[in-house]
Amino acid sequence: MLSESLHDREQNGDAAKVLESLATAMDADPQVLQGVRKLARNPESVRARMDLFFSNAAAPAGDRAKQTADLEKAIAADPTDVDVLADGAKWGQPLAVFG
């Protein structure tokens, strides 16, 4: 997937925008949502990855508040995403999911 390739190259803002376009399309068109499900992709996973990438994109600017807010949205969207949980854990920060 293009977003994952961009993320791997640390182009997190672009990766997030790719998934944001997909999330917007899923919200607007049930056929797009159905297509995502047919690809064996959980629609909430798409949203979680988008928020994770937005969180990662805020890091270079040192915007910890945005990082935290986006990461918390990612966790809420898909609390099973290992990368999302790993980012939360590596911060050693008391996010809601970690209690």
pLDDT in the model for residue 28: 97
pTM for the complete prediction? 0.86
pLDDT digits (tens, 9 = 90+) for 33-50: 999 999 878 999 999 999
pLDDT in the model for residue 98: 47
Q: Would you give the end-to-end CA distance of the chain in angstroms? A: 33
Low-confidence spans in the chain with pLDDT less than 50: 94, 98-99
pLDDT in the model for residue 92: 62
DSSP 22-91: HHHHHHH-HHHHHHHHHTT--HHHHHHHHHHHHHHHHTTTT-HHHHHHHHHHHHHH-TT-HHHHHHHHHH
- Spatial contact of 72 and 43, defined as CB atoms under 8 Å apart: no
pLDDT in the model for residue 88: 77
